[in-house]
Amino acid sequence: MILTYQSCTSSDEKNEVCISTVTPTLLSMEFRASANPNILVNDIHGEIIGDSVVECWVRYIMDSKVLIPHFSFNGDEVTIGDQILKSDSTSYDFKSPVLLTVTAGKQKKNYKVYVHAFTGIPVLWIETENRKDIISKDEYIKAHFKLVEDVRTRGPGDVKEFDGKIKGRGNSTWTMPKKPYAIKLDSAESFFDEPKDKSWVLLANYTDKTSIRNAIAFYMGRISNLDYTPRYHFVDVMLNGRYNGTYQLTEKIKIADYRVNVGKNGFIMEIDGRAPEEADSKYFYVSHIPQPVNIKDPDVEYDNEDFQYAKNFVETADATLFSENFKDSENGWQKYFDVESFVDWYLINEISKNVDAIFWSSCYFHLQRGGKLKMGPIWDFDISFGNVDYAEARYYDDFWVTNTSWYYRLFQDPFFVNRVKERFDFFYNKQPELMEEINQNAQYLQYSVVENNEKWNTFYNYNWPNYDIWGNYQNEVQSMKLWLQKRFEWLKQQFDAM
């Protein structure tokens, strides 16, 4: 619909000046299935937001976004670039954000048009060889990966394709209906803007109805003094042609220049209570950690030089921490432990009350030869921030990680206590940014989590080990925010009193 009005005044008998009194305005926009029979199965209505943005959501995967729009407006014409658009007639490729212009006389009004396929986040298509099911955590199967980016992500409309292999991963998470996976590409590649590498992880976040607990902990890691925190992007996964849910595509923890950079002969170790159950584990025990310490990277053999170096260093550090002169700044625990990483790793896990961070599992530290033991990277926060029903970590009050052997001893040194108090204030004052990060992630995933719920039926239901069931997505996110706010205030009172 075009509505044009003009008023004219005579300047002389021969000349007439006409001034448009119309404000160029886009009144409506949609894509009708009748005009796009090979692409759409139903009409897609666009939402005009703030008189400058048009959001269109197509609730399924689209191989093509060459569409014919239906629209109404006030003005003379509608254009995209130099092309004039006719409603129900002109087709255009909307795979990338499109700048649409309404013109009335000499006035122009621009609208940015986004056409989101499916939920509006990137889609990762995974095709296994002969469409085999992924049934093992130990054996990879060949697979092809195709990442189709959404119009809002970096490289809008891009398609990236890689060959590689895939297998299952995780411990308790592998037993759940929605499985996590490990990816190994044939060559080092970057899915988004991360440094290239072969090894990646797909976190399922099945137990976390918000899907963002890991993301929020990683945000805290990025603003901390930790050497490295895994980068990630959310994706919708299509596995062998079928929708499989919202996933977090994340860097795998490994030794690399752009990941855990400990040089060619350094180590990544994990305190992991399940290490004895894993066939490829190479672990040892030290006096004051009840669970085994597993050397995750590099590959070592029992009693070879690498194994002995890592084991001897951790044993010496452990013994020094529990020695009589452990507070000595030169020959005590600070000789072997990196202060900044031990403080920030502790605070992130204590603030989130990460249930496994009491030196049970996923407690990583790394060591460069000639250097000190550093905590991190952080990992595995799906049952943190109050999302657990089998431990006192469900409640926002009381200490959790503080009572773990090494940290209980460190808190007996006033130097460590003072450093913790200083750094806690840093995180405490970052609450506005942290809450904004939660809000932005929740808004970004608002459509994806709906589809994920339709697949896995998680909202309004108990999924191990949920402590509370809050109903819809907004309620789940709000519950997490309230828990975190109370946690900060309780910790603030405790640390101020020390």
Tallying the residues shown for the chain, one arrives at 498
E strand residue ranges, 169-209: 181-189, 197-203
- Considering the domain architecture, whether residues 221 and 316 belong to the same structural domain is answered as no
Q: How far apart are CA 434 and CA 290, in angstroms?
A: 34
Greatest CA span in the chain, whole angstroms? 107
Same domain, 25 and 150: no
| Claim to verify: residue 172 and residue 97 sit in the same structural domain | no
- The last residue of one of the domains, among 201, 219, 251, is 251
| Domain contains 262 | no
Q: What is the pLDDT of residue 6?
A: 43
Q: Does one domain contain both 340 and 380?
A: yes
The answer to whether residues 398 and 272 touch, using CB atoms and an 8 Å cutoff, is no
Closest residue by Cα to residue 347 from 496, 488, 497: 488
Rounded distance, CA 107 to CA 209, Å? 48
Number of C-alpha atoms within 13 angstroms, CB side, residue 126?
Answer: 28
Has residue 259 been placed in a domain? no
CA 37 to each of CA 55, 120, 210, 395, 459: distance values in angstroms, whole numbers, following the listed order: 21, 22, 36, 54, 34
| Chain centroid offset of residue 123 CA | 14
83 and 131 housed in the same domain: no
Distance from C-alpha of 63 to C-alpha of 233, rounded to nearest angstrom: 22
- Domain-terminating residue out of 96, 117, 138: 117
For residue 131, give the nearest of 118, 141, 116 by alpha carbon. Answer: 141
Last residue of a domain, one of 100, 117, 134: 117
Q: Are 152 and 104 contained in the same domain? A: no
Residue 260 lies in a domain: no
Both 294 and 394 in one domain: the answer is: yes
* pLDDT at position 157: 56
Distance (Å, whole) CA 404 – CA 392: 14
What is the distance between the alpha carbons of residues 323 and 325, in angstroms, rounded to a whole number?
A: 6
DSSP states of 436-487:
HHHHHHHHHTTTHHHHHHHHH--TTS--TT-S----SHHHHHHHHHHHHHHH
Alpha carbon of residue 33 to chain centroid: 34
Do 133 and 193 reside in the same domain of the chain? yes
pLDDT of residue 151: 67
Domain CATH code at residue 38: 2.60.40.2340
Residue 194 lies in a domain: yes
Q: Is residue 458 part of a domain?
A: yes
Domain range enclosing 372: 267-497
Same domain, 139 and 243: yes
Q: Are residues 203 and 322 in the same domain?
A: no
pLDDT at residue 153, rounded to an integer: 61
> Which of 107, 69, 75 has the alpha carbon at shortest distance from 1?
75
**Would you write out the chain's pLDDT as a tens digit for each of its 498 residues?**
444 444 444 444 444 445 557 899 999 999 999 999 989 999 999 999 888 999 898 887 777 899 999 999 999 999 999 999 999 999 999 988 899 999 999 999 999 999 988 888 999 999 999 999 999 999 999 999 999 877 666 455 568 999 999 999 988 899 999 999 999 999 999 999 899 999 999 999 999 999 999 999 999 999 999 999 999 999 999 999 889 999 999 999 999 999 999 999 999 999 999 999 988 899 999 999 999 999 999 999 998 999 999 999 999 999 999 999 999 999 999 999 999 999 999 999 999 999 999 999 999 999 999 999 999 999 999 999 999 999 999 999 999 999 999 999 999 999 999 999 999 999 999 999 999 999 999 999 999 999 999 899 999 999 889 998 999 999 999 999 999 999 999 999 999 999
This prediction's pTM: 0.87
Residue 295, beta-bridge partner list:
269
At a CB cut-off of 8 Å and minimum separation 6, what does 269 contact? Answer: 293, 294, 295, 296, 310, 314, 364, 365, 366, 367
261 inside domain: no
The total domain count for the chain is 3
Burial letters for 380-408: b for 16+ Cβ neighbours within 10 Å, e otherwise? Answer: bbbbbbbbbeebebbebeebbbbebbbbe
Residue 315 maps to a domain: yes
pLDDT of residue 82: 93
